Amino acid sequence: MSVQLAAATAATVYAGPPAWTFGRVFSEWQAEPVVLAIAILGSAGYLLGLVRLRRFGVAWTFGRTAAFLLGMALWVFTVCSGLGVYEKYLFTDRAVQSVVLLMVVPLLLAMGAPISVLVEAAPERFREGIRALLRGRAAQVLMFPLVSTVVLIVPPWLLYFTPWYRLSLTTDLWNVVFHVAFVLFGLAYFWPRLQIDPVGRHYHPLLGVVITVAEVIFDAALGFILVFGSHMLVPDYWASLHRPWGMSPRTDQSWGGAVLWGLGDIAGVPFLVALIIRVVREDRIETAKVDRRLDEEAVARVAAQSAPAEVGRAKAAAPAAPEEESMRPWWLDDPNLAHRFGTGES
C-alpha cells in the first residue's frame, strides 16, 4: 500500500511531458524563438543570395542548396520537436541533441557553402572587405587545424563537466546558448576542414582524416566515463523531477554516454567519406598538374635540342656573300693598288 501511495504522490508532483515514446519524438513540439529566427532568416538570406548569383551568371549546384536547407530544418527539428520537449527530462535525449547539433547540423550547413554565397552575392563595395576579413589573422588562427579541432572536441566536455549542464537544464538562456553554441562550434570545425567555402589557408584534406581519428578517440573517452564512471551528473536535479516513467537516472546516463560514443562515431562517417573523396580529387588534380608540367618540360627540351640544328641549317642556307667576300683578293681593296684593276677612283 505504501508503494502505491508513493507512486501516486510522485505522479501528482511530476509536471513534465507524458512518457517518452518514439512516436512522440515527432508528435510533440515546442517553440524555440531564437533558433526559429536564425533558421528563417538564414534560409531566406541564402535563397536571396542564390537569386543574385543567378543574375550574375554564377553556377550553383542543387546539392549544396539542399544540404544547407536540410541543415536548417534539422536544427529546428532537434530543438523544437520531441527531442526538444524531452531534453530536460532524459539524459539520453540531451546526448542525441549534442551529437546532432555539434556534428550533423554544422556539416550540412558547411556543405551548403554559405560563405561563398555571402561573398559572391554581396555588393561589390563590400565583397573585397569580406574577403580581406576571411584572410585576416583572426580567421587564420581560428582555422588552424589544431585550434579548430579543439573547438570541436572540447564543447561536450565543457557541457557535461562544468556548471553549463545544470544551467542548460534549469535556465532558458543557457539552454538557448547550448542550442546555438554547439552549431557554431561545429561550423568552426567543418568550414576549414571541408574547404568548400573560402578559407584563410588551404590544408591537405588528409590532415582532416587524421584529425577525425583523434576526435573519435576523445568521443570514446567521454562516452566511456559517462557509461562506466561512478560519478553521476546533477543527481539532485533528476531526483527533483519525480519522473514516474522511463529508465532510472543512472541507467539513463549510461545510455546517454553510449549514444555520445556510438552516435558520435557514426555521425563522423559522412564527413570522413567527404574528406576521402577530396583526397582522391586533389591527388588527381595534382597528378594532372605534374603530367602537364612534365609535358611542357619535354617540349622545351625537344625545342632546345633542335635549336642548334636549326641554327646550322640557317647558316647553311644563308647567302654566300660573306663567304665570297672572305675569298675576295686583298689587293682589290687596297687604295694604292685598286686603281690598277679598275676598282679604285681614277
Q: What is the DSSP letter of 333?
A: S
Please report how the helices 114-121 and 33-55 are oriented relative to each other, as an axis angle in degrees rounded to 10.
Answer: 50
Cα 92-257-150 angle, rounded to 5 deg = 110
- State the pLDDT at residue 10: 46
How large is the average pLDDT for residues 147-162? 88
Residues of the chain with pLDDT > 70, as a percent, come to 78
How confident is residue 332, by pLDDT bands cut at 50, 70 and 90?
Answer: low
How confident is residue 156, by pLDDT bands cut at 50, 70 and 90?
Answer: very high
Domain boundaries, the chain: 19-294
pTM: 0.75
SS3 96: helix
Range of 139-143, 145-149, 182-186, 188-192 with top mean pLDDT: 182-186
The answer to whether residues 179 and 142 touch, using CB atoms and an 8 Å cutoff, is no
Q: How far apart are CA 133 and CA 113, in angstroms?
A: 17
How large is the average pLDDT for residues 192-221? 73
Count CB-CB contacts under 10 A for residue 234: 17
Structure-model confidence comparison of residues 318 and 28, the more confident one = 28
* Chain segment 269-327, per-residue pLDDT in tens: 777 676 677 667 666 777 777 777 887 877 888 877 776 656 556 556 655 545 444 45
* Chain segment 173-206, per-residue pLDDT in tens: 999 999 999 999 999 888 887 878 777 666 666 6
* Chain segment 75-107, per-residue pLDDT in tens: 999 999 999 999 999 999 999 999 999 999 999
The alpha carbon of 258 is separated from its chain's Cα centroid by a whole number of angstroms, namely 26
Give me the numbers of helices (H) and strands (E) for the chain, helices first please. 17, 0
